């Protein structure tokens, strides 16, 4: 159940970050670079044509979409890094509390017997 909840949250977190990059971060950057829309930034290898009454789509390298995907990945990776770092720090604190609170284990029967034998030999 926990894994399913984590997966669902991760999927929606990715969608939120993608929206953040596409709709909030990239438009101001495009504006600063001279009204560039990164979603449309591409290198056209072959333009769209009409062949035999059918439209043949263009062949292009979508640099802007790739750049958006890289920025989305970096934001998600940073968020996951901070979550894991916080989790590990919290886990260390709980482990230290458990170690401090746990009493030392009682000696085993063999240790008790060997201690008695040692004490008898000293006498």
* Arithmetic mean of pLDDT, 54-67: 86
pLDDT at 56 over 80: yes
pTM over 0.75: no
Two tokens at 82?
């901070």
Quickly list DSSP for 49-100.
Answer: EEETTEEEPPEEE-HHHHHHHHHHHHHHHHHHHHHHHHHHHHHHHHHHHHHH
CA 17: distance to chain centroid? 12
Res 24: pLDDT: 85
Q: CATH 1.10.1200: does it fit domain 2-122?
A: yes
Q: Where are the domains of the chain?
A: 2-122
Two tokens at 35?
């009204």
Res 101: pLDDT: 66
Q: Which pLDDT band, with edges at 50, 70 and 90, does 8 fall under?
A: confident
20-39: pLDDT as tens digits: 888 888 888 888 878 877 77
């Amino acid at each position: 159940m926990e894994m399913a909840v984590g997966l669902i949250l991760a999927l929606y977190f990715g969608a939120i970050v993608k929206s953040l990059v596409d709709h909030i971060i990239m438009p101001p950057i495009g504006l600063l670079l001279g009204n560039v829309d990164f979603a449309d930034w591409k290198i056209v290898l072959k333009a769209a044509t009409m062949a035999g009454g059918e439209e043949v789509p263009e062949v292009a390298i979508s640099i802007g979409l790739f750049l958006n995907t890289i920025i989305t990945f970096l934001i998600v990776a940073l968020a996951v890094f901070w979550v894991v770092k916080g989790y590990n720090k919290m886990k260390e604190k709980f482990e230290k509390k458990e170690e401090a609170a746990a009493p030392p284990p009682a000696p085993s029967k063999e240790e008790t017997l060997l201690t008695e034998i040692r004490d008898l030999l000293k006498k």
